[in-house]
Amino acid sequence: MTASISFRDVTKTFPVREKAGSGRRTEFTAVQGVDLEVAAGEFTVLVGPSGCGKSTLLDLLGGLTQPSGGQILVDGEPVTGPGLDRGIVFQQYALLPWRTAQGNVEFGLEATGVPRRRRAERARHYLDLVGLAGFEDRHPHELSGGMKQRVAIARSLAYDPDVLLMDEPFAALDAQTRESLQDELLGIWERTGKTIVFITHGIEEAVYLGQRVAVLTSRPGRVKQVVPIDLGRRTDVADLRSSPEFAHYRHRIWDLLHDEVARAQELERAQRLEAADPVGRAQRIEKALQHDEALEKGTVRA
């Protein structure tokens, strides 16, 4: 089974305490007015500057938090909380150290009442799918970082979710392992037909994996543009990352991201100045509000 996904005017704000003991609260807007459609069986990548709300969108889609405005639908049904139709793979492996690789994959199935024999069969099947046949009895401390992430992916796939959500799962790995796992993931996607939403801060990773890449703005995150990637089957081309076609998409996405990265860095500098020098804070807030208002009216570039 696969599922379509719809983000409809999704906004997420968080309350922020101004000062210890002041009792005043303001709101921090992580994402604002996000509209995005993901087709069933599609591999979509979200890329954007640091702090733009990529992980917030994944948390919302996973049902780990609720939107402040708008709606998220999976196969036409509103997301109201976590569900077995959505599996999540995080950057941190979150494996139980006292369980074997097979035991970690079986863990999620135990809560759903799958019989022991069936649990073992499914765990071995998905460990084989991610290239870990023969490592079923190894504990996490006996596995490399890439192997641990394979176990985490197998665990999420084991209860057969319609959608696989991946939050920078390869960010902590070395370059060679990361590229190997990217190919493994594409193979899993081709064999299972799952809908995948993948978050990354790496442009090359986004281009290599995605059928479409949604480029997000700096905070508050919005969808700036969705770029279709037409590179065919990635593993059919030797050294695809060095091809002119790959470079074209990489440059196109960087052009979209360049201004957003600069603005994100400007916001970070302003926050540091604000913490060090509260004088003039009201003026800075007013200027930021004026800039955002101009953006909405289309009188300045994003």
As a whole number of angstroms, the distance between CA 203 and CA 241 comes to 11
Q: 270: Cβ–Cβ under 8 A, 6 or more apart, which residues?
A: 284, 288
Whether the per-residue pLDDT at 268 is higher than 90: the answer is: no
- pLDDT exceeds cutoff 90 at 262: no
Residue 161, pLDDT > 60, answer yes
Q: What is the spatial distance between Cα 96 and Cα 105, in angstroms, rounded to a whole number?
A: 10
Q: Which of 201-205, 249-253, 268-272 has the lowest mean pLDDT?
A: 268-272
Segments making up each domain of the chain, as ranges:
5-17+25-85+161-297
Higher pLDDT, 286 or 225: 225
Residue 282: predicted pLDDT: 56
Q: Do 89 and 188 form a contact (C-beta atoms < 8 A)? A: no
Mean pLDDT of 232-255: 88
Does the 5-17+25-85+161-297 domain belong in CATH 3.40.50.150? no
What amino acid occupies position 81?
G
Q: What are phi and psi of 8, to 5 degrees?
A: -120, 100
Residue 277 reports pLDDT greater than 80 = no
Secondary structure class of 84 (helix, strand, coil):
coil
Asked if the model's pLDDT at residue 281 lies above 90, the reply is: no
Q: Helix axis angle, 281-297 relative to 244-276, nearest 10°?
A: 150
CB atoms near residue 198 (< 10 Å): 26
In this predicted structure, what is the pLDDT of residue 137?
95
Check: CB of residue 63 under 8 Å from CB of residue 5: no
Res 302: pLDDT: 45
CA–CA separation, 263 vs 247, rounded Å? 24
Asked if residues 70 and 239 have their Cβ atoms less than 8 Å apart, the reply is: no
Identify which has the larger pLDDT, 75 or 263.
Answer: 75
pLDDT, position 273: 66
Burial 107-126 (b: 16+ CB within 10 A, else e): bbbeeeebeeeebbebbbeb
Q: Would you say residue 285 has pLDDT above 70?
A: no
Write out the two tokens for 253. Answer: 């996405």
> pLDDT (tens digit, 9 = 90+) per residue, 10-41?
999 988 876 556 566 688 899 999 999 999 99
